[in-house]
Amino acid sequence: MINQVYQLVSPRQFETTFKTINLHNHNNKIIVRPLYLSICAADLRYYCGNRDTKVLSKKLPMSLIHECVGEFVYDSDYQLKKGTKVVMIPNTPSESHKVIAENYLASSHFKSSGYDGFM
């Protein structure tokens, strides 16, 4: 599947890129299409260039937006109904822990803060 991605490449400038998603990869069990995106103050700081230039050069290009509502379009386990609306969690964990929630693990990636968001 080819996914169209909008990345901020410099302040006030977006570019469209394309990424291939392997639907048969066990890490891609669910695909969600973003429907409604919310712009927050952090996104505006990146977009307007109100971050330190060293930070911008390190993090860009990057897809913004970490607040989003979407709908299921694919479920490899066929348990979720296509079109079901969901609130998307902007955290990508890479491990689990018995005590520490994934949002607080140092190994988790928070979208639109150094890792691609939902755009």
At residue 79, the pLDDT reads 82
SS (H, E, C) the chain: CEEEEEEEEECCEEEEEEEECCCCCCCCCEEEEEEEEECCHHHHHHHHCCCCHHHHHHHCCECCCCEEEEEEEEECCCCCCCCCEEEECCEECCCCCCCCCHHHCCCCEEECCCECCCC
Q: What percent of the chain has pLDDT over 70?
A: 97
Could you tell me if residue 119 is inside a domain?
A: no
pTM for the model: 0.80
pLDDT over 90 at 84, yes or no? yes
* pLDDT of 58 strictly over 70: yes
CATH number, residue 65: 3.90.180.10
pLDDT tens for 28-45 read 678 899 999 999 999 999
Q: Which domain holds residue 71?
A: 2-110
Task: State CA 109 to chain mean position distance.
Answer: 9
